[in-house]
Amino acid sequence: MIKNLRIKRLLTLGCLVIGFSQGASAIEIAGVKLDETAHVANKELKLNGAGIRVKAIFKVYVAGLYLPAKKTTVPEILDLAGPRRLTMVMLREISSEDFGQSFMTGLNANSDKAEKSKIVNQTVKMGEIFASIPSLKKGDTITTDWVPGSGMLIQVNGKPVGEMLPDINFYNAYLKIWLGDKPADSALKQSMLGG
C-alpha cells in the first residue's frame, strides 16, 4: 500500500515536471505563442524579452527579441557580433504604407543625421520591401534576422522578402526603432530588455 502510494506520487511528480518543461518551450502573450529559442545562422538564440506594441488604445503586434545570450542594456545588444532576431506577430491588419511610415518615423526618431546618411541605400531598399507587401494581416509573422557575414534577412510567414541588407549599421538602426532613446513603445522596450 505504502509502496503503491510512493509510486503514484513519483508518477504525479514526473507528469508535473514534464508538463512544466513542455510549457517552458513557449511563452504566450495576447494569445500569441513565442518560442523560447530560435535558430539563426546555425546558432541557438534565446528569447531575451517580448511584449505588445500598443498604439493609442490598439494592440498592434507582439514582438520578441532573440539573442545568443541574455542582455539587459541597449549598448550590449547593439555591440553583439553574433546573430540576432526580431519577431513580430500582427494582432490586427495594417497596410504596408502605415507599417512603412511607422518604420521611417521610428528610424528618424532614433538615428542622428550622420547615422542615417550611412544607411540611405538600405533604407530605400527597405521601403521597396514594404511596397511589395500589400498589407499585413492579423496572425502574420515578420522575422528580421541578422546573419553575420550575409546581412539582414526579412521574412513574412517564413518566406524571404526582398534581398539581404548587408550593413550591420542598418540592422542596429532598425533595432533602435524599439530599443532607442525614443522607442516606438517604451513598455515594449522594457519587455524586450527582459524587464
Q: Over its length of 195 residues, how does the chain's per-residue pLDDT go in tens digits?
A: 444 434 344 333 333 333 333 444 789 999 999 999 999 999 999 999 999 999 988 999 999 999 999 999 999 999 998 999 999 999 999 998 899 999 999 999 999 999 999 999 999 999 999 889 989 999 999 999 999 999 999 999 999 999 999 999 999 999 999 999 999 999 999 999 997
pLDDT for res 109: 97
Q: How many domains does the chain have?
A: 1
Q: Is residue 18 part of a domain?
A: no
Distance, CA of 24 to CA of 22 (rounded, Å): 5
Q: Is residue 77 part of a domain?
A: yes
Q: Is residue 57 part of a domain?
A: yes
Distance, CA of 169 to CA of 115 (rounded, Å): 8
pLDDT for res 33: 97
pLDDT for res 116: 95
Distance, CA of 27 to CA of 9 (rounded, Å): 28
User: Is the Cβ–Cβ distance between 191 and 181 less than 8 Å?
Assistant: no
Range(s) of the domain holding residue 53: 27-192
Sheet strands (E) in the chain: 26-29, 32-35, 37-40, 43-55, 58-67, 84-90, 94-95, 135-136, 141-147, 151-156, 159-160
pLDDT for res 23: 41
Query: What backbone phi and psi angles, to 5 degrees, belong to 160?
Result: -60, 140
> Apex CA 34: angle with CA 32 and CA 40, to 5°?
145
Q: Is residue 42 part of a domain?
A: yes
What CATH number corresponds to the domain at position 99?
A: 3.50.70.10
Stated as kind and residue range, the H or E segment containing 76 is helix 74-78
Q: Is residue 187 part of a domain?
A: yes
pLDDT for res 25: 79
